[in-house]
Homo-oligomer: A and B are copies of this chain.
Amino acid sequence: MATLTRPHHQSHLFTNLSLKPKPKPAHFSPSRIKMSLQETAPSVAIVGVTGAVGQEFLSVLTDRNFPYRSIKMLASKRSAGKQQTFEGKNYTIEELTAESFDGVDIALFSAGGSISKEFGPIAVEKGCVVVDNSSAFRMVDGVPLVIPEVNGDAMSGIKLGGKGGLIANPNCSTIICLMAATPLHRHAKVKRMVVSTYQAASGAGAAAMEELELQTREVLEGKPPTCKIFSQQYAFNLFSHNAPVQSNGYNEEEMKLVKETRKIWNNMDVKVTATCIRVPVMRAHAESVNLQFEKPLDEDTAREILKNAPGLVVIDDRASNHFPTPLEVSNKDDVAVGRIRQDLSQEGNHGLDIFVCGDQIRKGAALNAVQIAELLL
């Protein structure tokens, strides 16, 4: 994928900043590859394989040694015929059509809402389980909206080899926020949550990451910045999230946090407000989260709860001022949480402030989808 691999940036720092798939983990071994070839493993399709999330699907499948009988690389007509290397084999990218899903057990979709709306139901019709990364079906009644660590049980009605089904992957900001908020919610019940986000370029796709880099070079050279993906200068600047603003003044990104939280927690009473901001960071989001609880929860208990929560790492070193940063979680699976402290503005230990960072492409999208697929196995 030309836009995401550039040989002239090989330092670990720049790699870490943005682009290359991370090295294979220690548990990756040829014997495990063999296992993945077994006849009982599912047939998998990747829809939108050329995109930033599509590429990350492949990386995560490998990292997690996801078993598969066969794998199909699907994309738009424009990309059909191109080659995609995966686990040492070359695959020809195929054009996505209604026939693409014949014999496919699991399809991981990340090709935008309109593709999901058109082809998701076709795939399900053919008995395929679709894990959809778009917003197309997230709020549809009966479609489970799943973060495996949070509400994996919500998809218990959907099985492989049956009549197919559709599972929605939540929005990246929601996943990253709820990975940290849920363990606390389970303990003390969140009444109200005020979220301010610091969102990376990657949320707008690989082209947006390219634009941030290009603009930064241009501004440093004293040139006007190229604005194609975003309508304004992004380098050394920040702006309200580019999602359309609704009549209530919230943009769609913010409303995802409000609505998806209610659905995932199966709690229509939880109050959420959010302000979503794009910052000039490449691929990991940060979120400042203020929590109001029904029951008291002191910060030491909260820290212990978070330390024991799956998929979460606590980085909370006050003495050396070391807390989560987007760079530190880039290309990492775990969401990081820190700045855990009793909210001074609330009485009786009924509030906490926390700061969360998570890789937007990984746990915010591809990893969460693959974890959903793993629950199906």
Binding site for B on A (CB under 8 A): 8-11, 13-14, 17-18, 192-194, 196, 198, 212-213, 216-217, 219-220, 222-225, 231-233, 236-240, 242, 244-245, 248-251, 258, 271-273, 275, 277, 279-282, 286, 288, 290, 299, 318-319, 321, 323, 325-327, 338-346, 351, 353, 355
Q: State A233–B275 Cα separation when bound (angstroms).
A: 25
Q: Which residues from B are CB-within-8-Å of A236?
A: 17-18, 212, 216, 280-282, 327
Q: Which residues from B are CB-within-8-Å of A282?
A: 236
CB pair B233–A13 under 8 Å, yes or no, is yes
Residue of B nearest to A225 (CB): B13
Q: Which residues from B are CB-within-8-Å of A345?
A: 192-194, 271-273
Q: Which residues from B are CB-within-8-Å of A192?
A: 345
CB pair B341–A249 under 8 Å, yes or no, is yes
Q: Which residues from B are CB-within-8-Å of A251?
A: 321
Query: What is the distance, in angstroms, from A283's C-beta to the closest C-beta of chain B?
Result: 9
Oligomer: number of copies = 2
Residue of B nearest to A10 (CB): B222
Q: State A48–B310 Cα separation when bound (angstroms).
A: 51
Q: Which residues from B are CB-within-8-Å of A225?
A: 13
Given A198-B279, A220-B217, A249-B318, A273 and B353 contact (CB-CB distance below 8 Å): yes
Query: What is the distance, in angstroms, from A344's C-beta to the closest C-beta of chain B?
Result: 6
CB pair A220–B216 under 8 Å, yes or no, is yes
Q: Which residues from B are CB-within-8-Å of A9?
A: 222
Contact partner, A223, options B8, B13, B325, B346, Cβ 8 Å:
B13
Q: State A223–B250 Cα separation when bound (angstroms).
A: 40
Q: Which residues from B are CB-within-8-Å of A272?
A: 344-345
Q: State A318–B241 Cα separation when bound (angstroms).
A: 12
Q: Which residues from B are CB-within-8-Å of A223?
A: 11, 13
Query: What is the distance, in angstroms, from A8's C-beta to the closest C-beta of chain B?
Result: 7
Q: State A82–B279 Cα separation when bound (angstroms).
A: 39
CB pair A240–B277 under 8 Å, yes or no, is no
CB pair A232–B325 under 8 Å, yes or no, is yes
Q: State A110–B33 Cα separation when bound (angstroms).
A: 64
